[in-house]
Structure 1
Amino acid sequence: MTARPTRWAAGGSDNDYYAETFAALVAEGEDVEGEARLADALCPRGARVLDAGAGMGRVAAALQQRGHHVLAVEPDAGLVARAQATYPDLPVLPVDVLDVDARMLAAAGAPEAFDLVVAVGNVMVFVAEGTEVAVLRRLHDLLAPGGRVLLGFHPVDGPTTSRDYAPADFVADATAAGLHVDARYGSYELHPPTDSYVVWVLARGTDRA
Protein backbone atom coordinates (compact mmCIF):
# COMPACT_ATOMS: atom_id res chain seq x y z
CA MET A 1 0.00 0.00 0.00
CA THR A 2 1.07 3.58 -0.60
CA ALA A 3 2.44 5.14 2.57
CA ARG A 4 3.06 8.79 1.70
CA PRO A 5 0.29 11.32 1.01
CA THR A 6 0.33 12.55 -2.56
CA ARG A 7 0.95 16.17 -3.45
CA TRP A 8 -2.62 16.22 -4.77
CA ALA A 9 -4.02 15.16 -1.38
CA ALA A 10 -2.06 18.00 0.23
CA GLY A 11 -4.28 20.44 -1.66
CA GLY A 12 -7.37 19.44 0.33
CA SER A 13 -10.47 21.46 -0.47
CA ASP A 14 -8.44 23.69 -2.77
CA ASN A 15 -8.68 20.85 -5.31
CA ASP A 16 -12.43 21.25 -5.65
CA TYR A 17 -11.94 23.71 -8.49
CA TYR A 18 -10.76 20.90 -10.78
CA ALA A 19 -13.90 18.76 -10.70
CA GLU A 20 -16.19 21.79 -10.58
CA THR A 21 -14.52 23.34 -13.64
CA PHE A 22 -14.63 20.22 -15.78
CA ALA A 23 -18.10 19.19 -14.60
CA ALA A 24 -19.37 22.58 -15.75
CA LEU A 25 -17.62 22.24 -19.11
CA VAL A 26 -19.08 18.76 -19.64
CA ALA A 27 -22.56 19.97 -18.69
CA GLU A 28 -22.24 22.84 -21.16
CA GLY A 29 -21.19 20.52 -23.96
CA GLU A 30 -17.70 21.99 -24.26
CA ASP A 31 -14.86 20.05 -25.85
CA VAL A 32 -12.89 18.32 -23.07
CA GLU A 33 -11.51 15.47 -25.19
CA GLY A 34 -8.20 16.84 -26.46
CA GLU A 35 -6.10 14.30 -24.57
CA ALA A 36 -8.45 11.48 -25.56
CA ARG A 37 -8.09 12.21 -29.27
CA LEU A 38 -4.33 11.74 -29.09
CA ALA A 39 -4.70 8.68 -26.86
CA ASP A 40 -7.12 7.17 -29.35
CA ALA A 41 -4.60 7.65 -32.15
CA LEU A 42 -1.90 5.84 -30.18
CA CYS A 43 -3.64 2.50 -29.91
CA PRO A 44 -5.48 -0.03 -32.08
CA ARG A 45 -9.27 -0.23 -32.26
CA GLY A 46 -10.81 -1.89 -29.24
CA ALA A 47 -7.62 -1.42 -27.24
CA ARG A 48 -7.11 -2.16 -23.56
CA VAL A 49 -6.61 1.23 -21.87
CA LEU A 50 -5.81 2.17 -18.27
CA ASP A 51 -6.32 5.78 -17.18
CA ALA A 52 -4.08 6.30 -14.15
CA GLY A 53 -5.13 9.31 -12.10
CA ALA A 54 -8.36 9.56 -14.08
CA GLY A 55 -9.83 12.47 -12.14
CA MET A 56 -13.53 12.81 -12.88
CA GLY A 57 -13.17 10.32 -15.75
CA ARG A 58 -13.55 12.60 -18.76
CA VAL A 59 -10.61 11.15 -20.74
CA ALA A 60 -11.41 7.55 -19.83
CA ALA A 61 -15.07 8.03 -20.76
CA ALA A 62 -14.16 9.59 -24.10
CA LEU A 63 -11.96 6.60 -24.89
CA GLN A 64 -14.69 4.20 -23.81
CA GLN A 65 -17.09 5.97 -26.18
CA ARG A 66 -14.58 5.36 -28.97
CA GLY A 67 -14.87 1.62 -28.43
CA HIS A 68 -11.87 0.94 -26.21
CA HIS A 69 -11.93 -1.29 -23.14
CA VAL A 70 -11.11 1.23 -20.42
CA LEU A 71 -10.39 1.04 -16.72
CA ALA A 72 -10.03 4.24 -14.70
CA VAL A 73 -7.90 4.41 -11.54
CA GLU A 74 -8.40 7.35 -9.18
CA PRO A 75 -7.62 7.59 -5.42
CA ASP A 76 -9.50 10.82 -4.67
CA ALA A 77 -12.91 9.82 -3.26
CA GLY A 78 -14.55 13.04 -4.35
CA LEU A 79 -13.37 12.63 -7.93
CA VAL A 80 -14.43 8.97 -7.94
CA ALA A 81 -17.92 10.02 -6.87
CA ARG A 82 -18.00 12.68 -9.57
CA ALA A 83 -16.85 10.17 -12.19
CA GLN A 84 -19.50 7.65 -11.18
CA ALA A 85 -22.22 10.31 -11.28
CA THR A 86 -21.13 11.75 -14.61
CA TYR A 87 -20.14 8.52 -16.36
CA PRO A 88 -22.07 5.68 -14.65
CA ASP A 89 -20.88 3.06 -17.14
CA LEU A 90 -17.19 3.80 -16.56
CA PRO A 91 -15.40 1.24 -14.34
CA VAL A 92 -13.30 2.99 -11.70
CA LEU A 93 -10.86 1.52 -9.19
CA PRO A 94 -10.79 3.92 -6.18
CA VAL A 95 -7.09 3.38 -5.40
CA ASP A 96 -3.66 4.81 -6.11
CA VAL A 97 -2.02 3.28 -9.17
CA LEU A 98 0.79 2.01 -6.93
CA ASP A 99 -1.77 -0.19 -5.18
CA VAL A 100 -3.17 -1.77 -8.33
CA ASP A 101 -2.45 -5.49 -8.41
CA ALA A 102 -3.53 -8.58 -10.34
CA ARG A 103 -6.29 -9.36 -7.82
CA MET A 104 -7.86 -5.92 -8.22
CA LEU A 105 -7.67 -6.11 -11.98
CA ALA A 106 -9.25 -9.55 -12.03
CA ALA A 107 -12.04 -8.45 -9.67
CA ALA A 108 -12.76 -5.51 -11.98
CA GLY A 109 -12.89 -7.82 -15.00
CA ALA A 110 -9.90 -5.99 -16.43
CA PRO A 111 -6.84 -7.39 -18.18
CA GLU A 112 -3.50 -7.62 -16.42
CA ALA A 113 -1.75 -5.66 -19.19
CA PHE A 114 -2.79 -2.71 -21.35
CA ASP A 115 -2.11 -1.45 -24.86
CA LEU A 116 -2.08 2.13 -23.57
CA VAL A 117 -1.68 3.66 -20.14
CA VAL A 118 -2.79 7.29 -19.85
CA ALA A 119 -1.53 9.62 -17.10
CA VAL A 120 -2.45 13.12 -18.23
CA GLY A 121 -3.67 16.19 -16.38
CA ASN A 122 -0.54 16.74 -14.29
CA VAL A 123 -0.65 13.31 -12.65
CA MET A 124 3.13 12.99 -12.45
CA VAL A 125 3.64 16.32 -10.68
CA PHE A 126 1.06 15.40 -8.03
CA VAL A 127 2.36 11.96 -6.96
CA ALA A 128 3.81 11.52 -3.48
CA GLU A 129 7.30 12.88 -3.00
CA GLY A 130 9.96 10.36 -3.88
CA THR A 131 7.59 7.94 -5.64
CA GLU A 132 8.08 9.18 -9.20
CA VAL A 133 10.25 6.27 -10.33
CA ALA A 134 7.99 3.77 -8.55
CA VAL A 135 4.92 5.19 -10.30
CA LEU A 136 6.64 5.10 -13.68
CA ARG A 137 7.78 1.54 -13.00
CA ARG A 138 4.19 0.57 -12.20
CA LEU A 139 3.01 2.10 -15.47
CA HIS A 140 5.77 0.16 -17.23
CA ASP A 141 4.67 -3.08 -15.57
CA LEU A 142 1.04 -2.54 -16.62
CA LEU A 143 1.95 -2.33 -20.31
CA ALA A 144 1.37 -5.20 -22.71
CA PRO A 145 4.20 -5.91 -25.18
CA GLY A 146 4.30 -3.05 -27.64
CA GLY A 147 2.14 -0.86 -25.40
CA ARG A 148 2.77 2.81 -24.74
CA VAL A 149 2.28 5.42 -22.04
CA LEU A 150 0.84 8.89 -22.69
CA LEU A 151 1.69 11.52 -20.06
CA GLY A 152 1.32 15.28 -19.84
CA PHE A 153 2.15 17.86 -17.19
CA HIS A 154 3.38 21.37 -16.46
CA PRO A 155 7.12 21.04 -15.77
CA VAL A 156 7.17 24.42 -14.00
CA ASP A 157 4.60 26.75 -12.47
CA GLY A 158 1.99 24.04 -12.20
CA PRO A 159 -1.07 23.96 -9.93
CA THR A 160 -0.82 24.54 -6.19
CA THR A 161 1.04 21.76 -4.29
CA SER A 162 2.44 20.26 -7.51
CA ARG A 163 6.19 19.95 -7.98
CA ASP A 164 8.46 21.37 -10.66
CA TYR A 165 9.63 18.48 -12.82
CA ALA A 166 12.32 19.41 -15.32
CA PRO A 167 12.13 17.38 -18.55
CA ALA A 168 15.69 16.11 -18.05
CA ASP A 169 14.80 14.84 -14.56
CA PHE A 170 11.66 13.18 -15.87
CA VAL A 171 13.57 11.42 -18.65
CA ALA A 172 16.11 10.17 -16.11
CA ASP A 173 13.30 8.81 -13.90
CA ALA A 174 11.53 7.20 -16.86
CA THR A 175 14.78 5.53 -17.92
CA ALA A 176 15.33 4.25 -14.38
CA ALA A 177 11.81 2.77 -14.56
CA GLY A 178 12.61 0.87 -17.75
CA LEU A 179 10.88 3.26 -20.13
CA HIS A 180 12.21 5.22 -23.07
CA VAL A 181 10.89 8.34 -24.81
CA ASP A 182 9.24 7.73 -28.18
CA ALA A 183 8.21 11.38 -28.58
CA ARG A 184 7.87 14.71 -26.80
CA TYR A 185 5.40 17.45 -27.78
CA GLY A 186 4.19 20.77 -26.45
CA SER A 187 0.48 19.92 -26.59
CA TYR A 188 -1.98 17.12 -27.28
CA GLU A 189 -2.32 18.55 -30.79
CA LEU A 190 1.37 17.70 -31.32
CA HIS A 191 2.79 21.22 -31.29
CA PRO A 192 6.58 21.46 -30.98
CA PRO A 193 8.02 21.06 -27.46
CA THR A 194 7.68 24.03 -25.12
CA ASP A 195 8.89 24.91 -21.64
CA SER A 196 5.37 25.43 -20.28
CA TYR A 197 3.79 22.04 -20.95
CA VAL A 198 5.17 18.63 -21.91
CA VAL A 199 3.42 15.70 -23.53
CA TRP A 200 5.34 12.43 -23.57
CA VAL A 201 4.84 9.16 -25.41
CA LEU A 202 6.83 6.40 -23.69
CA ALA A 203 7.40 2.71 -24.35
CA ARG A 204 9.12 -0.12 -22.52
CA GLY A 205 12.85 -0.22 -23.07
CA THR A 206 12.57 -3.89 -24.01
CA ASP A 207 10.23 -2.98 -26.87
CA ARG A 208 12.63 -0.47 -28.39
CA ALA A 209 13.47 -1.30 -31.98
Structure 2
Amino acid sequence: MSRTPTRWELAGEDNRGYGRHFADLVTQGADVAGEARLADALVPRGARIIDIGSGMGRVAAELAARGHDVVATEPDPALRDQSRATYADLAVLPHDALALDPAELGTFELAVLVGNVMIFLAEGTERSVLQRVRDLLAPSGRALVGFHLQAVKAGSRTYPAEEFVADVEAAGLRVVHRFGSYELHEPVDDYAVWVLGR
Protein backbone atom coordinates (compact mmCIF):
# COMPACT_ATOMS: atom_id res chain seq x y z
CA MET A 1 0.00 0.00 0.00
CA SER A 2 1.45 3.36 -0.98
CA ARG A 3 2.03 5.94 1.71
CA THR A 4 1.63 9.71 1.50
CA PRO A 5 5.04 11.36 2.00
CA THR A 6 5.36 13.57 5.04
CA ARG A 7 5.85 17.31 4.77
CA TRP A 8 9.31 16.74 6.22
CA GLU A 9 10.18 14.34 3.39
CA LEU A 10 8.81 16.72 0.77
CA ALA A 11 10.96 19.55 2.12
CA GLY A 12 14.03 17.39 1.44
CA GLU A 13 17.36 19.17 1.63
CA ASP A 14 15.75 22.30 3.07
CA ASN A 15 15.62 20.53 6.45
CA ARG A 16 19.06 18.91 6.45
CA GLY A 17 20.60 21.50 8.79
CA TYR A 18 18.33 20.62 11.72
CA GLY A 19 20.21 17.60 13.04
CA ARG A 20 23.64 19.17 12.55
CA HIS A 21 22.52 22.36 14.29
CA PHE A 22 21.45 20.54 17.44
CA ALA A 23 24.49 18.26 17.35
CA ASP A 24 26.68 21.39 17.30
CA LEU A 25 24.75 22.83 20.25
CA VAL A 26 25.27 19.59 22.20
CA THR A 27 29.00 19.69 21.45
CA GLN A 28 29.14 23.30 22.66
CA GLY A 29 27.45 22.33 25.93
CA ALA A 30 24.28 24.31 25.22
CA ASP A 31 21.09 23.51 27.10
CA VAL A 32 18.94 21.50 24.69
CA ALA A 33 16.96 19.64 27.34
CA GLY A 34 13.99 21.96 27.91
CA GLU A 35 11.42 19.57 26.45
CA ALA A 36 12.95 16.62 28.32
CA ARG A 37 12.80 18.45 31.66
CA LEU A 38 9.06 18.96 31.26
CA ALA A 39 8.53 15.39 30.04
CA ASP A 40 10.47 14.12 33.05
CA ALA A 41 8.22 16.11 35.39
CA LEU A 42 5.08 14.52 33.91
CA VAL A 43 5.94 10.93 34.85
CA PRO A 44 7.19 8.89 37.80
CA ARG A 45 10.76 7.54 37.94
CA GLY A 46 11.46 4.76 35.48
CA ALA A 47 8.45 5.50 33.28
CA ARG A 48 7.91 4.01 29.84
CA ILE A 49 8.14 6.87 27.34
CA ILE A 50 7.91 6.86 23.56
CA ASP A 51 9.54 9.73 21.64
CA ILE A 52 7.78 9.90 18.28
CA GLY A 53 9.85 11.76 15.71
CA SER A 54 12.90 11.71 17.95
CA GLY A 55 15.04 13.56 15.41
CA MET A 56 18.71 13.56 16.33
CA GLY A 57 17.89 12.03 19.71
CA ARG A 58 18.41 14.85 22.18
CA VAL A 59 15.09 14.47 24.08
CA ALA A 60 15.08 10.67 24.13
CA ALA A 61 18.73 10.52 25.24
CA GLU A 62 18.11 12.99 28.07
CA LEU A 63 15.07 11.04 29.27
CA ALA A 64 17.02 7.77 29.16
CA ALA A 65 19.81 9.44 31.15
CA ARG A 66 17.19 10.36 33.76
CA GLY A 67 16.36 6.67 34.20
CA HIS A 68 13.30 6.25 32.01
CA ASP A 69 12.59 3.32 29.70
CA VAL A 70 12.57 5.18 26.37
CA VAL A 71 11.60 4.01 22.90
CA ALA A 72 12.81 6.47 20.25
CA THR A 73 11.36 6.46 16.73
CA GLU A 74 12.59 8.47 13.75
CA PRO A 75 11.80 7.68 10.09
CA ASP A 76 14.41 10.04 8.57
CA PRO A 77 17.62 8.05 7.88
CA ALA A 78 19.84 11.15 8.05
CA LEU A 79 18.48 12.06 11.48
CA ARG A 80 18.94 8.47 12.69
CA ASP A 81 22.55 8.65 11.52
CA GLN A 82 23.00 11.93 13.39
CA SER A 83 21.41 10.37 16.47
CA ARG A 84 23.83 7.43 16.35
CA ALA A 85 26.77 9.81 15.95
CA THR A 86 25.72 12.01 18.88
CA TYR A 87 24.12 9.44 21.22
CA ALA A 88 25.71 6.10 20.41
CA ASP A 89 23.84 4.26 23.18
CA LEU A 90 20.37 5.37 22.04
CA ALA A 91 18.54 2.79 19.93
CA VAL A 92 16.16 4.37 17.42
CA LEU A 93 13.39 2.57 15.56
CA PRO A 94 12.92 3.61 11.89
CA HIS A 95 9.12 3.77 12.19
CA ASP A 96 6.92 6.72 11.34
CA ALA A 97 4.05 7.44 13.70
CA LEU A 98 1.43 5.40 11.85
CA ALA A 99 3.68 2.32 11.79
CA LEU A 100 3.89 2.17 15.59
CA ASP A 101 1.94 -0.89 16.71
CA PRO A 102 0.71 -1.02 20.32
CA ALA A 103 0.49 -4.82 20.04
CA GLU A 104 4.24 -4.90 19.34
CA LEU A 105 5.44 -2.02 21.53
CA GLY A 106 3.01 -2.11 24.43
CA THR A 107 1.71 1.03 26.09
CA PHE A 108 3.44 4.05 27.55
CA GLU A 109 2.97 6.48 30.39
CA LEU A 110 4.04 9.32 28.12
CA ALA A 111 4.22 9.93 24.38
CA VAL A 112 6.46 12.83 23.34
CA LEU A 113 5.91 14.64 20.02
CA VAL A 114 7.99 17.80 20.21
CA GLY A 115 10.22 19.68 17.79
CA ASN A 116 7.34 20.46 15.43
CA VAL A 117 6.49 16.83 14.63
CA MET A 118 2.80 17.66 14.19
CA ILE A 119 3.36 20.31 11.53
CA PHE A 120 5.55 18.01 9.40
CA LEU A 121 3.18 15.03 9.20
CA ALA A 122 1.81 13.86 5.88
CA GLU A 123 -1.14 15.94 4.75
CA GLY A 124 -4.41 14.76 6.21
CA THR A 125 -2.88 12.30 8.70
CA GLU A 126 -3.03 14.45 11.83
CA ARG A 127 -6.11 12.75 13.31
CA SER A 128 -4.81 9.28 12.45
CA VAL A 129 -1.51 10.05 14.16
CA LEU A 130 -3.32 11.36 17.25
CA GLN A 131 -5.46 8.20 17.30
CA ARG A 132 -2.28 6.11 17.17
CA VAL A 133 -0.87 8.16 20.06
CA ARG A 134 -4.06 7.45 22.02
CA ASP A 135 -3.71 3.73 21.35
CA LEU A 136 -0.09 3.78 22.59
CA LEU A 137 -0.99 5.40 25.90
CA ALA A 138 -1.66 3.49 29.09
CA PRO A 139 -5.08 4.31 30.59
CA SER A 140 -3.62 7.12 32.68
CA GLY A 141 -0.96 7.99 30.11
CA ARG A 142 -0.44 11.44 28.64
CA ALA A 143 1.14 13.01 25.59
CA LEU A 144 3.45 16.04 25.45
CA VAL A 145 3.13 17.85 22.13
CA GLY A 146 4.81 21.09 21.05
CA PHE A 147 4.82 22.95 17.73
CA HIS A 148 4.73 26.34 16.05
CA LEU A 149 1.16 27.31 15.23
CA GLN A 150 2.27 29.09 12.05
CA ALA A 151 4.38 27.56 9.30
CA VAL A 152 7.85 28.81 10.13
CA LYS A 153 10.07 26.02 8.81
CA ALA A 154 10.60 24.77 5.26
CA GLY A 155 7.73 22.47 4.32
CA SER A 156 5.78 22.87 7.57
CA ARG A 157 2.11 23.74 7.80
CA THR A 158 0.12 26.29 9.76
CA TYR A 159 -1.85 24.39 12.41
CA PRO A 160 -4.17 26.74 14.33
CA ALA A 161 -4.83 25.89 17.96
CA GLU A 162 -8.56 25.45 17.45
CA GLU A 163 -8.00 22.98 14.60
CA PHE A 164 -5.55 20.99 16.68
CA VAL A 165 -8.00 20.84 19.60
CA ALA A 166 -10.74 19.58 17.25
CA ASP A 167 -8.38 16.89 15.95
CA VAL A 168 -7.38 15.92 19.48
CA GLU A 169 -10.99 15.48 20.53
CA ALA A 170 -11.91 13.58 17.35
CA ALA A 171 -9.03 11.20 18.09
CA GLY A 172 -10.36 10.33 21.52
CA LEU A 173 -7.95 12.52 23.44
CA ARG A 174 -8.46 15.70 25.46
CA VAL A 175 -6.43 18.78 26.25
CA VAL A 176 -5.28 18.72 29.87
CA HIS A 177 -3.02 21.81 29.65
CA ARG A 178 -1.86 24.36 27.09
CA PHE A 179 1.26 26.47 27.67
CA GLY A 180 3.32 28.94 25.68
CA SER A 181 6.68 27.26 26.39
CA TYR A 182 8.31 24.23 27.98
CA GLU A 183 8.88 26.42 31.03
CA LEU A 184 5.08 26.62 31.39
CA HIS A 185 4.55 30.24 30.37
CA GLU A 186 0.99 31.27 29.61
CA PRO A 187 -0.32 30.50 26.11
CA VAL A 188 0.96 32.61 23.20
CA ASP A 189 -0.14 33.00 19.59
CA ASP A 190 2.88 31.55 17.81
CA TYR A 191 3.87 28.41 19.76
CA ALA A 192 1.93 25.89 21.82
CA VAL A 193 2.92 23.19 24.27
CA TRP A 194 0.12 20.77 25.03
CA VAL A 195 -0.38 18.05 27.59
CA LEU A 196 -3.02 15.60 26.35
CA GLY A 197 -4.82 12.78 28.13
CA ARG A 198 -7.02 9.92 27.01
Q: TM-score, normalization: structure 2? A: 0.97
| Matched residue, 1:166 | 160
| Matched residue, 1:154 | 148
| Matched residue, 2:195 | 201
Deviates more, 1:1-10 or 1:157-166: 1-10
RMSD value, Cα: 1.2
| Matched residue, 1:99 | 99
Compute the displacement of 1:2 (Å): 6.8
In 1: Cα distance, 2:103 partner to 2:2 partner? 17
Compute the displacement of 1:16 (Å): 1.1
| Matched residue, 1:109 | none
Compute the displacement of 1:158 (Å): 2.1
Q: Aligned AA for 1:32? A: V
Structure 1 position 25 matched with structure 2 position 22 = no
**Matched ranges for 1:37-56 at <5 A:** 37-56=37-56
In 2: Cα distance, 1:191 partner to 1:95 partner? 32
Deviation sequence 1:69-90 (CA, Å, 0-9, x none): 0010100000011111211211
User: Aligned with 2:18: secondary structure?
Assistant: helix
| Matched residue, 2:81 | 81
8 Å contact from structure 2 (residues 73, 92) kept in 1: yes
Q: TM-score, normalization: structure 1? A: 0.92
Percent of paired sites with the same residue = 59
8 Å contact from structure 2 (residues 54, 60) kept in 1: yes
- Structure 1 unaligned segments of length 5 or more: list them: 106-111, 205-209
| Matched residue, 1:175 | 169
Deviation sequence 1:62-118 (CA, Å, 0-9, x none): 00000000010100000011111211211210110111125653xxxxxx0000000
User: Aligned with 1:8: secondary structure?
Assistant: helix
Aligned residue pairs: how many? 198
In 2: Cα distance, 1:203 partner to 1:161 partner? 29
| Matched residue, 1:134 | 128
Q: Aligned AA for 1:194? A: V
Q: Aligned AA for 1:179? A: L
- Structure 2 unaligned segments of length 5 or more: list them: none
